Amino acid sequence: MSRSVLVTGGNRGIGLAVARVLAEQGDKVAVTHRTGDPPEGLFGVRCDVTDRESVRRAVAEARVQHGPIQVLVSNAGITHDRLLVGMADENFRSVIETNLMGAVNVAREVAPDMIKARWGRMVFMSSTSGLTGAPGQTNYAASKAALIGFARSLAREVGRRKITVNVVTPGLIETDMSRDVTPVRRENLLGQTALHRVGTPEEVAHAVRFLVSEESSYVTGAILPVGGGLGLGN
């Protein structure tokens, strides 16, 4: 297996784990990074997903290096948690711009490669919060819920070309992002998690590996929860 893969936000956290798992099985993986150096052993393309021109350049670089994009893992995301009444417009907008519009920008750029090849895999990183809602996360939950509608619509647009589009909803995963969660909120989330522990980025990566594999050929428009049972039933 040696497909041309693009992972956004692949320089740390969940994205990096996905990139490493796919590279280990022989895929040609390009990861986006906004600043600094790419992670060791991986091909990096500099990219801010909120900037269409930056996305266009990054995808073009990945194409030159590895060929037309066959697999997209749209993972880049941010939080700006605050109760709605105290939330600045800018904090709402930047989360929507990154989590939703960033994914739209990247998908629009790589979709023509997959349509032309009549094969492709796209996975969008949503969140349990997008299904259940969460206090302090009106902006984040809205962006992550919107990703689901986006992915399912796109799945219907490109399905005839053997392109699948799926969504992963992680629960509480140990990364820089989840280190911002207050101890009280963390305890509360763990109390609602059937497995009573935080997940690892690798556990999310293994679910992504299935969704981008040939074995998942009849799975599209699906939401795969990787949350240890957080948000069960949603």
Active site members: 140
> Considering beta carbons, is residue 106 or 111 the nearer one to ligand NDP?
106
Least Å distance, CB 117 to ligand NDP, is 25
Least Å distance, CB 99 to ligand NDP, is 6
**CA-based nearest residue to 96, from 74, 77, 113, 70:** 77
Candidate residues 3, 13, 105, 145; the one interacting with ligand NDP per rule CB under 6 A: 13
User: Does residue 183 touch ligand NDP according to CB under 6 A?
Assistant: no
Rounded to an integer, what is the distance from CA 92 to the centroid of its chain? 19
Tell me how many helices (H) and strands (E) the chain has.
8, 7
User: Does residue 98 touch ligand NDP according to CB under 6 A?
Assistant: yes
Of 26-34, 37-45, 115-123, 206-214: span binding ligand NDP (CB under 6 A): 26-34
User: Does residue 78 touch ligand NDP according to CB under 6 A?
Assistant: yes
Least Å distance, CB 118 to ligand NDP, is 29
> Considering beta carbons, is residue 176 or 214 the nearer one to ligand NDP?
176
Binding mask 34-73 for ligand NDP (x = CB under 6 A): xx-----------xxxx-----------------------
User: Does residue 77 touch ligand NDP according to CB under 6 A?
Assistant: yes
Phi, psi of 160 (to 5 degrees): -65, -20
d(CA 139, CA 87): 9
d(CA 156, CA 71): 17
Contacts to ligand NDP from residues 136-165, by CB under 6 A: none
User: Does residue 14 touch ligand NDP according to CB under 6 A?
Assistant: yes
Least Å distance, CB 123 to ligand NDP, is 11
User: Does residue 166 touch ligand NDP according to CB under 6 A?
Assistant: no
Which residues have CB under 8 Å from 128's CB, separation 6+? Answer: 169, 170, 171, 225, 227, 230, 231, 234
Which residues have CB under 8 Å from 226's CB, separation 6+? Answer: 168, 169, 170, 171, 173, 199, 203, 204, 207
d(CA 109, CA 30): 15
**CA-based nearest residue to 38, from 53, 23, 25, 56:** 23
Copy the structure tokens of residue 50. 């909120």
Least Å distance, CB 126 to ligand NDP, is 7
Candidate residues 176, 184, 191, 233; the one interacting with ligand NDP per rule CB under 6 A: 176
Beta bridge partners of 123: 73, 166
Q: Which residues bind ligand NDP (CB under 6 A)?
A: 8-9, 11-15, 32-35, 47-50, 75-78, 98, 102, 125, 127, 170, 172-173, 175-178
